[in-house]
Amino acid sequence: MGRPLAINGDAAIALAWKQVNPDVVAAYPITPQTIMVEAFSDYVADGQVDTEYICAESEHSAMSICIGASAAGARVATATASAGLALMWEMLYIAASMRTPIVMAIANRTLSGPINIHCDHSDTMGARDSGWVQLYGENVQEAYDNTIMAFRIAENMKVRLPVMTCIDGFIITHALERLETLDDQVVEDFIGLYQATRPLLDIGNPTTYGPIALPDYFYEIKYQQAVAMGSVAAVTKEVMADYAKVSGRRYKLVEGYRTEDADHVVVAMGSTSGTLRHVVDRMRERGSKVGSVKIRLFRPFPSEELAAILKGKKGVAVMDRALSPGTGGALYSDVLQSIHDIPDAPKVTNYIYGLGGRDVMPEQLEGVFEEVMAGNGERINFMGVRI
C-alpha cells in the first residue's frame, strides 16, 4: 500500500483512473470536474497510461463516444457535472439500455439557472431514472475507492450497467484530504481484464446494436434492465467485501452511525453525511439518542437495508440536496418507499438544503435533529435559506 497522499477529490479520481488504465476516456471540461480531466491529461501526455483520451466537442458527444467505444469492446471512463450531465441526458438512458458498462465520475454541481458552479445534487438526482447505478462518496478516500469498485460492479456479467460515482463539487473535488492509495498491481488485479460481450469489433460475429423495438418487444428489453438493477445490491456487497480484503476498508450500501439505540435519525448522502456524524457525536455527548444514516448506493435504492435501520425509530428526517419544485426530495421519496411496507414505520420529514453550494453548518443540522425530536417540522422543510 502506498504512502498516504494529500490530494483533492478530483485528483484522487484521476489517480484511480490511472491505475485502472481504461482503454478510452472521452470527456468535456466543466467545473468542478476539470481537475480530473486535467490531471488525467498529464498522465496521457507523459505516457503513463495506454488510454485513448478524447476531448469531445460537447458532453452529448462525449457520452456518445463512450457508448460507441464501450459497444466496440473497450473499457471506458468519463466524468462530468451539472450542465454537462444535462446535455448528455438523452444518451444516459441509451448507455444504460444498451448495457454499456461505462464508469462516470460526477462532481455534483447544481443545474442552472441561475448558473452557479457549486454543489448540490440536482444534476444526478435528475438522472435517477436513467438506469445508471449511482454511488455517492463522502470524502476524497471514498471518491477513490468508489471509482475502483465501480468498474467491478459495472462490468459484472449480471449487471452490465453504467455506473456514476458522485462526489460533492468543490467540497470534495477541490478539498485536500488524506488519501490511502492501493498499489497499481493491486488495482489491476482487483478489477481484472475487461471481457466485452459481443463487441462490435468482433468482425467474425457481427452484432447489430441499437435497432428499433416496437411495442411487441420494447417492454421485454426494458425489463431486462430492471432485472439487472435487481442484482446490483448483491454484486456490490460482494465487490465491497473483496475490496475490504485488499484495502482494509469495509463499506456498506447504507451505513448507519450510532443508529442501533437511536430514537431519532437523519439520513443524508455525500459530504453532509460526515458533518452529520460530527453532529451526532456532539449531541450524543449531550445525551441525545440520535444517529445518522449515509446512503452510499442510491441507484438501485437499497430499500431493505435502509428499512432494517429505520424500523421502530421515533422520528426520521431526510436531507435532500436538490429541489423537485412541486413535491418532496428524491431521497425522501425513496425512503418513504422503503418503509411503506414495514409494520413499525417512523414518521419521516424532509429537509431541502445546501442548494447552489449554500454551506451546511453543524448548528443547522443540530436544529434538524431538534425539530425531529420535538416532532415538529413540516413534511417538507427548507434549511438555510433566507425566506
Ligand X SMILES: Cc1ncc(C[n+]2csc(CCOP(=O)(O)OP(=O)(O)O)c2C)c(N)n1
- Residue range at the interface with a second copy (CB under 8 A); choices 143-151, 175-183, 245-253, 299-307: 299-307
How far lies 252's CA from each of 12, 296, 302, in Å? 21, 7, 10
- Which residue, 88, 98, 18, 96, is CA-closest to 59? 88
Residue 173 makes contact with a second copy by CB under 8 A = no
Instruction: List Cβ neighbours of 208 (8 Å cut-off, separation of 6 or more).
Output: none
Task: Name the minimum Å distance from CB 59 to ligand X.
Answer: 6
Residue 30 contacts ligand X per CB under 6 A: yes
Q: What does the alpha-carbon distance between residue 294 and residue 277 come to, in Å, rounded to a whole number?
A: 9
Number of residues that bind ligand X (CB under 6 A): 7
Phi and psi, residue 146, nearest 5°: -60, -40
Residue 196 or residue 307: which is nearer to other proteins going by CB? 196
Q: Which does 229 bind (CB under 5 to 8 A by kind): a second copy, ligand X, other proteins, none?
A: a second copy
3-class secondary structure per residue, 254-312: EEEECCCCCCEEEEECCHHHHHHHHHHHHHHHCCCCEEEEEECEEECCCHHHHHHHHCC
List binders of ligand X among 32-61 (CB under 6 A).
Answer: 59
Q: Choose the one of a second copy, ligand X, other proteins, none that binds residue 384, judging by a C-beta under 5 to 8 angstroms depending on kind.
A: a second copy
- Shortest distance, CB of residue 63 to a second copy, whole angstroms? 12
Our finding on whether 355 is near a second copy (CB under 8 A) is: yes
Give the nearest distance from C-beta 189 to other proteins in angstroms: 18
Mind giving me the DSSP string for 37-56?
HHHHHHHHHTT-S--EEEE-
Minimum CB separation of residue 364 from a second copy in Å reads 12
Q: Least separation, in Å, of the C-beta of 340 and other proteins?
A: 26
Which residue's Cβ has the minimum distance to ligand X? 83
Q: Which of 9, 22, 32, 84 binds ligand X (CB under 6 A)?
A: 84
Judged by CB under 6 A, which stretch of 7-15, 79-87, 160-168, 206-214 contacts ligand X?
A: 79-87
Angstrom CA distances, 182 to 1, 27, 145, stand at: 5, 25, 9
> Between 27 and 267, whose beta carbon lies closer to ligand X?
27
Supply 320's cell numbers: 435532500
